[in-house]
Structure 1
Amino acid sequence: MRQSNQSSLADFILEGLFDDSLTHVFLFSLTMVVYLVAVSGNSLTILLIYADSRLHTPMYFLLSQLSLMDLMHVTTTIPKMATNYLSGRKSISFVGCATQHFLYLSLGGAECILLTFMSYDRYVAICHPLHYGVIMSRRVALMMAVMSWLGASMNSFIHTVILMHFPFCGSRTVHHFYCELPAVLKSICGDITVYEKTVYISTVLFLVFPILLVSTSYGFILHSIIQMRSAGSKRNAFATCSSHLTVVSLWFGACIFSYMRPRSLRTPLQDKVGTEKG
């Protein structure tokens, strides 16, 4: 029994993203620059919103939460990838893999929920501007943030506990640069048909359903913009929504590419590149 427990807690091997070629050294350096820019930009956004009392509104509060999620999201994977690449090691402990999987899945799900709430915030601001202060109070914004964090964390915790109780193959090689769900699933030795169905249901709840809600919100927003008589009001409305709509398109597009493709169309390289872009 003791030997079995030790085996179940063995390290995983992360295949990584880069090798020692000059091209990959350049790509690694570029990735680190983008990472530092992302960390600096999100940190600065959070500090500015916190420091400026004029930005203490529901919209900017939700934006600060999104920046915090983005900051934690990239920090969950990139530093470990960089450490392994620079040190020449490829291993990650069982606990480290479980923790990384839990955090990445939690933050990804939280962003999906929060982006949906932010689309509702834009809907209220444009379609019901006179009632915005009543409908989108600070309490409502706080509840939206809490629901995003808790809902995604509970889903991630359940999936992580179930996933890490499966028997893994001897090599425990994960064909990715972090412990991503589809990559870890491929290293399991056993029948995971039932579990894959639960993963698919979660994917629908956290991707498809939010996309439908976001699309509904922007359908009403577009209808309201078309009815506006002032060209200036239309420009302001488009300016208000364009940045959020861009983030929604990039985020959900990358998630759909990473998690909703049939297994027959998946390749390790596509999964790595798709997740890195996300």
Structure 2
Amino acid sequence: MNKLEAFGHIAALAIRGDLVFPTSVNAALRVQLALDDPDCPMEEAIRLVLAEPTLAARTVSLSNSAMFNRTGGPTVTNVRSAIMRVGYHNLFALAAAMVVRQFGAKIEDPELRAKAEQLWDHTIHVACLARIIAREVTGVSPDTALFAAIVHEVGGFYLLSRADEFPGLLEPDPENWQPASEEIITREVMHKLGIPEPVANAIEGLRDGFLQVPPETLLDTLLLANHFSPVASPLEVARAEPPHSDSVIDLFIDEEKRVKIREEAALDAASMSAALLV
């Protein structure tokens, strides 16, 4: 089966809803869906988090990270206090991060695993940048921006998780890249994961989207975060995402603000990465 046939096969399975998820992803999905309810009682949220030991440990760790404890408050040692500090929206994003991360857990090929690790590093940097850019530049919800950035490469993670079965599927060969197939796969994976439509639309717009001036949408936020990310996606060459001129960005983000955003995001990415590796 060549690359074109492999993409067609995976896309056809995705359209039928025949998506292969690791068991751990399904468990994290159950938590994520429950937390999606803004009226979810605190006691139920605590029970759900405690039912997943990895999520519990990461929630407590994240609440003590510089990202959520900038004032140097007391160390959190329990799930209840961690949820109160992090908040439901970020707990939801954390569950989504677990889902994304688990897609790479079953990869055996060393080269594919390396790509998955680079994609994860890219995702964390984009997530931290998006949260700050939303707050400082575009005015969209920082919580929504964080969540959207965490899941913006979920289609790529899914393809990497299936690439062991299809040797050469993700080799850098733009002539055989099938963007239409990948878009279908990404759309169906997001549907299966229950990604809200506004977030899904922004993610789908990343491939061909262009920055508007001034930037004020979730798509603009994701485009800027990807542009500033110090870690590139290993799938970037194949996707040929449209470049955004620094001269255009200079119109609304001066050099001083750009440095500030990058420095804060780098600190957040380091603390978030450490917390999520618990």
Task: Give TM-score scaled by structure 1 length.
Answer: 0.32
**Bigger proportion of residues as helix:** 1
Determine which structure has more spread, i.e. the larger CA radius of gyration. Answer: 1
Task: Give TM-score scaled by structure 2 length.
Answer: 0.32
